[in-house]
Chains A and B, each alone.
Chain A
Amino acid sequence: MIRTFGWNEFLFILMAIRWTIALSAIAFIGGGIGGLAIALARTSGDKVVRQATAGFIRVFQGTPLLLQLFLVYFGMAVVGAAINPWIAAALALTLHASAFLGEIWRGCIEAVPLGQNEAATALGLKWASRQRWIILPQAARIAVAPTVGFLVQLIKGTSLAAIIGFTELTRAGQIINNATFEPFTVFSIVAGLYFVLCWPLSLLARQAEIRFARASAR
């Protein structure tokens, strides 16, 4: 029997947005930690560390996110872990975000003039202090806009987790569509919800960009 698309169906889709937000948040926080480590490694003085992390970034930038999800999902079975879409999606997106944020933040760190690091070094500040007090605070200002921009990509990217059976916004849409056969209505609503989630962030990114341009023109 075919259900008609009504209020309950809409609510089912709307409620699934929390899983999209949760998955995005986990990937963003995990990716933030991983990305910071990678960005610091990429800008370190140690050649081996630099190249190892460069390889990591290249792998994740050079393969589709969907395949990264597949590889983590099926890879868990290979190493004998129980297949769990939650863990697989969170892990794959965290690795993905780590690689991309690492590369974005590497650029921001390298945009801080070399003289800043030299002055801090000459004052006797060690590596960790230089990063904490001098380099990262300046890099962070440059990083706001591209980081928010990537967050938007990441939120949209979580829709791929539907394919490995993770019930988030897109998957909820598929489920409702399978019951109602009203694909245009259903997926318009799904797309609309992504838009509501992402558009304010895009605005924020643009504002941050304008603010940064103004601040650096001073």
Chain B
Amino acid sequence: MTTTSETAAEAPRKTLETAVRMEAVNKWYGAFQALKNVDLEVRSGERIVVCGPSGSGKSTLIRCINQLEAIQSGRIFVDGIELTAGGKNVDAIRREVGMVFQQFNLFPHMTVLENCTLAPMKVRGETRDAAEATARKYLARVHIPEQADKYPAQLSGGQQQRVAIARALCMNPKIMLFDEPTSALDPEMVKEVLDTMIDLADGGMTMLVVTHEMGFARRVADRVIFMDRGEIVEMAPPDRFFDDPQHERTRTFLGQIA
């Protein structure tokens, strides 16, 4: 190994740059309003944890950022690019935003290495050699370099989710979205995935994480958001969020999951 950034000084935790800005975002599924006038600003390098009861709109919120869900009104800016309602800049934005899903969503017909190299080759036009070198670097970073030639079905859930994280990182995203990344895992595998995410956070990645892992939120988050019925009810740094929540609904929710 050459001298990489692993031992280098910790990346600056945050800058004043805006990574994501949402202005008065509304989203309906038919008559059901999933997001109600949501405003949110995420600075570059910031780690946001989103929690809330199921159906509260927390997954929808992060899925709007890379346009897996279209919004009906409002504006979303990602890395300074406006995501118009028509979705014109969506390709540019998806190249900047990585996503990790609850169900991993690895491509079952491809090896781990192929999972990681497909998008860099097809979207960024990288050569196979370059893409494989990048993939092996990130597979090493998530501690499974030896699994590169296996198929997803041969791996444990925790390993699969770490591959999914590596796959997203191979596109060199500026922002990472996590949609309940540990909810489908057996309990003994939650830690290895959370540790990988903590490592990523320590490296300065901008992260929006939908999760019920409150230990992770306390340890990593800069701000914790509580959503209910499509609204951001409370947003605060973790200490205040957990120890002194301002809203009754937040207190009720925290009481339920504790």
| Chain A nearest Cβ from B213, distance in angstroms | 21
Chain A 10-37 per-residue mask, 1 if CB under 8 angstroms from chain B, else 0: 0000000000000000000000000000
Q: Assuming A129-B122, A133-B118, A218-B153, is B107 touching A122 (CB within 8 A)?
A: no
A124: contacting residue among B94, B105, B106, CB under 8 A = B94
Q: Do the beta carbons of A125 and B119 come within 8 Å of each other?
A: yes
Q: Does B99 sit within 8 A of A, measured CB to CB?
A: yes
Q: Do the beta carbons of B107 and A121 come within 8 Å of each other?
A: no
Q: Which of A60-68, A80-88, A111-119 contacts B (4 or more CB under 8 A)?
A: A111-119
Docked complex: B178-227 residues within 8 A CB-CB of A: none
Q: Do the beta carbons of A122 and B123 come within 8 Å of each other?
A: no
A125: contacting residue among B66, B118, B164, CB under 8 A = B118
CB neighbours of B153 from chain A (8 A): 218
Q: Assuming A125-B122, A125-B123, A218-B153, is B94 touching A119 (CB within 8 A)?
A: no
CB neighbours of A113 from chain B (8 A): 103, 105
Residue of B nearest to A132 (CB): B122
Residue of A nearest to B103 (CB): A115
Docked complex: B75-121 residues within 8 A CB-CB of A: 91, 94-95, 97-99, 101, 103, 105-109, 118-119
Q: Assuming A121-B68, A123-B167, A124-B171, is B101 touching A137 (CB within 8 A)?
A: no
Q: Assuming A123-B94, A124-B94, is B123 touching A118 (CB within 8 A)?
A: no
| Chain A nearest Cβ from B93, distance in angstroms | 9
B123: contacting residue among A116, A119, A124, A138, CB under 8 A = A124
Q: Does A214 sit within 8 A of B, measured CB to CB?
A: no
CB neighbours of A134 from chain B (8 A): 107
| Chain A nearest Cβ from B152, distance in angstroms | 11
A138: contacting residue among B98, B99, B108, B171, CB under 8 A = B108
Q: Which of B101, B103, B105, B123 lies at the interface centre, i.e. has the most chain A CB atoms within 10 A of its CB?
A: B105
CB neighbours of A119 from chain B (8 A): 99, 101, 105-107, 164
Q: Do the beta carbons of B119 and A124 come within 8 Å of each other?
A: yes
CB neighbours of B103 from chain A (8 A): 113, 115
Interface residues on B, range: 20 to 34
A138 to B153, CA, bound (A): 14
Chain A 127-143 per-residue mask, 1 if CB under 8 angstroms from chain B, else 0: 00100011001100100
CB neighbours of B94 from chain A (8 A): 121-124
Q: Assuming A122-B94, A124-B94, is B122 touching A133 (CB within 8 A)?
A: yes
| Chain B nearest Cβ from A28, distance in angstroms | 25
CB neighbours of A118 from chain B (8 A): 68, 101, 105
Q: Does A126 sit within 8 A of B, measured CB to CB?
A: yes
Q: Do the beta carbons of B99 and A122 come within 8 Å of each other?
A: yes
Instruction: Name A residues whose Cβ lies closer than 8 Å to a Cβ of B.
Output: 113, 115-116, 118-126, 129, 133-134, 137-138, 141, 218
Instruction: Name B residues whose Cβ lies closer than 8 Å to a Cβ of A.
Output: 66, 68, 91, 94-95, 97-99, 101, 103, 105-109, 118-119, 122-123, 153, 164, 167-168, 171, 177
A sample of 21 cross-chain residue pairs with beta-carbon separation below 8 angstroms, ordered by A number, consists of: A113-B103, A118-B68, A119-B105, A119-B106, A120-B107, A120-B119, A121-B68, A121-B94, A122-B68, A122-B97, A122-B98, A122-B168, A123-B94, A123-B171, A124-B91, A124-B94, A124-B95, A124-B123, A129-B122, A138-B109, A141-B109
